[in-house]
C-alpha cells in the first residue's frame, strides 16, 4: 500500500489493537443480541418482530446517513471533509451487506407488518384501495430494488475512493462529483418509498406527503452523529492527528447542529400541515400518541416528549455555542443523545401502531443489538484494512489547513 508523503504511516492506519477491540466489542454485542433475540422470539414473536424492525431500521439509517454524507461532500466540492469522509465511507459500505439483516423480516413480515400483511382487507374500502401497492409480492420487489440501488451507490463511491488511495488519480474526484448529483436524486427517491413501505405502512390508514423528508433528515443527522463519534475516537487515540483536528470536530459539530434543526423543521412541518388540515385519518396518528380513547394521557406521551427534548432541545442548546462543538465531551454527548433519540424516533413511529401502552421491553433489545453489533463489527473490519482518510485526495492539503474563524 502506498503511503502519503504528507503524514507518517502511524497516522494513516488504525492500530491492530484498536481495530481488534472494536471488532470484539461489536461481535460481543451481536452475540448478546442473538441470544436475546432467540429468547424474545420464543417468548413473544410479535413483540420481537416489531422490535427487530425498529432496530434494523435504526442501524440501516446510520449507514444511509454515511452515504448521504459522502454524496453531499462531493456534491458541494467540500475540502474540509476529506478527513472525516473515510469514516462516512465505512458506514456507507455496510449497505453492501445490510440486505442480509433484512432477511429475517421476510419471515417475520406477517408479524412486523400485521396491520396490512394479514387478512384485514375484506370489507374495508380504505385498505382495499391501497392493496395494489401494499401487497407482499410488490413489497418484496421494491425492497430488492432499494437494496440493489444502495449496494450500487455505496460500492461506486467507496471503491472509487479506495482506488484513488492507490493511484492518486485526481480525475477520480471529478468523477465522484459528477456521479453525486444523480446519485443524490435516486438516493432521496428510494429512501422516501422505503419509508412508506417499512414505516408508514405499519399504520396503513395514515399518510403524510412529507414523511420521506422526515426520514431522510433522521438518516443524515444520525449519520453525522456516528461519524463525529468515530472521528473523536481517532483523535483521542492520536490517529490521523495532522489530518483530523479540533477544527474538523468543530465543523462536524456545526453539521450536527444544523441537521438537528433540519430534522425539527421537517417534524414540525409534518405536524403543522396535519393539524391545520384536521383530517381524522391523519390527525389520529398523532392523537393516539398523546391521548387514550377516553381522552386521558396515553402511555406514549412520555415518548413523544422525550423525542422532542432529546432529538431537538438538548442537541440544539448543547451545540449552540462554539465551545461544545470543539470539546471532546460536548460533541460526544451531543452525538450520543442524537443517536439515542433517533432510536426513540423510529420506535415512536412503529410501536404505537401495535400497542396502546408505551413501555420499552427487554424483548426489544435483541432487535437493536443484532444489527448494531453487526455494524460495529464491520467498522472494526474496515478500520483494520483501510487508511483512515483518503490518502491522495487532491483536497487533502485544504483539509489539513482548515481553520474556523
Dist CA 35 CA 310 (whole Å): 30
Answer whether residue 404 is part of any domain. Answer: no
Q: How far apart are CA 98 and CA 60, in angstroms?
A: 7
DSSP assigned state of 105: H
CB 73 within 8 A of CB 81: yes
Q: What are phi and psi of 154, to 5 degrees?
A: -65, -45
Alpha-carbon gap, residue 113 to 139, rounded angstroms: 11
Helices and strands of the chain, counted as H and E runs: 17, 0
| 291 DSSP β-pair partners | 297
Query: Residue 118 domain-assigned?
Result: yes
Has residue 331 been placed in a domain? yes
Beta carbons of 313 and 262 less than 8 angstroms apart: no
Give the residue from 238, 240, 247 showing the smallest Cα distance to 326: 247
Rounded to whole angstroms, the Cα distance separating 211 from 213 reads 6
Q: What is the pLDDT of residue 228?
A: 97
Report how many domains make up the chain. 1
- CA dist., res. 101 & res. 52, Å (int): 10
pLDDT of the residue at 205:
85
Residue identified by cell 473490519 is 381
The pLDDT value recorded for residue 127 is 78
Give the pLDDT score at 91. Answer: 97
Q: What angle do CA 131, 367, 255 make, to 5 degrees?
A: 90
Report the DSSP beta bridge partners of residue 297.
291
Do residues 249 and 231 make contact, with C-beta atoms less than 8 angstroms apart?
yes
Residues with pLDDT less than 50, the chain: 1-10, 119
Q: Which residue has the cell 485526481?
A: 170
Domain-located, residue 58: yes
What is residue 204's predicted lDDT score, i.e. its pLDDT?
A: 84
**Residue at 78 is within a domain:** yes
Residue showing cell 419509508:
195
Q: How far apart (Å, rounded) are the C-alpha atoms in residues 348 and 215?
A: 13
- Phi and psi dihedrals of 255, rounded to 5? -65, -45
Proportion of the chain in helix, strand, coil states, percent, rounded to 5: 75, 0, 25
Dig out the grid coordinates for 390 from the structure.
483518503
* Domain contains 351: yes
Closest to 399 measured CA to CA, from 252, 260, 219, 237: 252
Residue 403 lies in a domain: no
Does the pTM exceed 0.85?
Answer: yes
DSSP string computed for 187-237: HHHHHHHHHHHHTGGGSTT---TTHHHHHHHHHHHHHHHHHHHHHHHHHHT
Kindly state whether residue 4 falls inside one of the protein's structural domains: no
Domain that holds residue 127: 9-395
Amino acid at each position: 500500500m502506498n503511503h502519503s508523503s504528507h503524514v507518517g504511516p502511524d497516522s494513516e492506519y488504525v492500530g491492530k489493537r484498536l481495530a481488534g477491540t472494536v471488532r470484539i466489542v461489536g461481535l460481543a454485542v451481536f452475540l448478546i443480541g442473538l441470544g436475546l433475540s432467540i429468547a424474545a422470539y420464543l417468548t413473544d414473536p410479535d413483540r420481537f418482530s416489531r422490535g427487530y424492525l425498529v432496530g434494523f431500521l435504526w442501524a440501516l439509517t446510520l449507514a444511509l446517513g454515511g452515504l448521504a454524507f459522502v454524496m453531499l461532500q462531493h456534491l458541494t466540492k467540500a475540502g474540509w471533509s476529506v478527513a472525516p469522509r473515510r469514516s462516512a465511507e465505512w458506514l456507507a459500505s455496510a449497505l453492501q451487506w445490510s440486505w442480509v439483516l433484512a432477511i429475517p423480516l421476510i419471515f417475520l413480515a406477517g408479524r412486523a407488518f400485521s396491520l396490512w400483511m394479514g387478512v384485514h382487507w375484506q370489507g374495508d374500502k380504505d385498505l382495499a384501495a391501497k392493496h395494489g401497492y401494499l401487497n407482499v409480492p410488490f413489497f418484496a420487489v421494491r425492497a430488492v430494488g432499494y437494496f440493489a440501488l444502495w449496494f450500487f451507490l455505496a460500492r461506486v463511491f467507496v471503491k472509487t475512493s479506495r482506488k484513488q488511495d492507490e493511484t492518486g488519480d485526481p480525475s477520480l474526484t471529478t468523477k465522484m462529483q459528477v456521479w453525486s448529483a444523480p446519485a443524490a436524486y435516486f438516493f432521496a427517491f428510494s429512501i422516501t418509498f422505503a419509508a412508506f413501505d417499512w414505516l408508514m405502512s405499519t399504520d396503513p390508514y395514515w399518510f403524510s406527503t412529507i414523511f420521506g423528508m422526515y426520514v431522510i433528515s433522521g438518516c443524515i443527522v444520525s449519520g453525522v452523529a456516528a461519524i463525529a463519534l468515530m472521528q473523536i475516537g481517532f483523535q483521542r487515540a492520536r490517529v490521523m492527528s495532522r489530518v483530523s483536528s479540533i477544527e474538523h470536530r468543530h465543523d462536524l459539530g456545526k453539521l450536527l447542529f444544523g441537521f438537528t434543526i433540519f430534522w425539527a423543521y421537517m417534524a414540525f412541518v409534518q405536524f403543522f400541515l396535519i393539524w391545520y388540515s384536521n383530517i381524522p385519518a391523519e390527525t389520529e396518528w398523532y392523537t393516539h400518541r398523546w391521548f387514550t380513547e377516553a381522552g386521558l394521557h396515553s402511555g406514549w406521551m412520555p415518548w413523544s416528549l422525550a423525542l422532542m427534548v432529546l432529538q431537538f432541545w438538548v442537541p440544539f442548546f448543547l451545540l449552540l455555542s462554539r465551545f461544545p462543538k470543539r470539546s471532546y465531551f460536548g460533541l460526544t454527548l451531543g452525538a450520543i443523545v442524537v443517536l439515542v433519540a433517533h432510536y426513540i424516533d423510529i420506535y415512536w413511529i412503529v410501536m404505537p401502531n401495535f400497542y396502546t401502552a408505551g413501555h420499552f421491553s427487554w424483548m426489544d433489545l435483541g432487535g437493536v443489538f443484532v444489527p448494531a453489533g453487526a455494524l460495529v463489527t464491520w467498522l472494526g473490519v474496515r478500520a483494520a484494512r483501510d487508511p483512515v482518510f483518503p490518502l491522495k485526495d487532491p483536497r487533502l492539503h485544504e483539509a489539513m489547513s482548515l481553520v474556523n474563524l
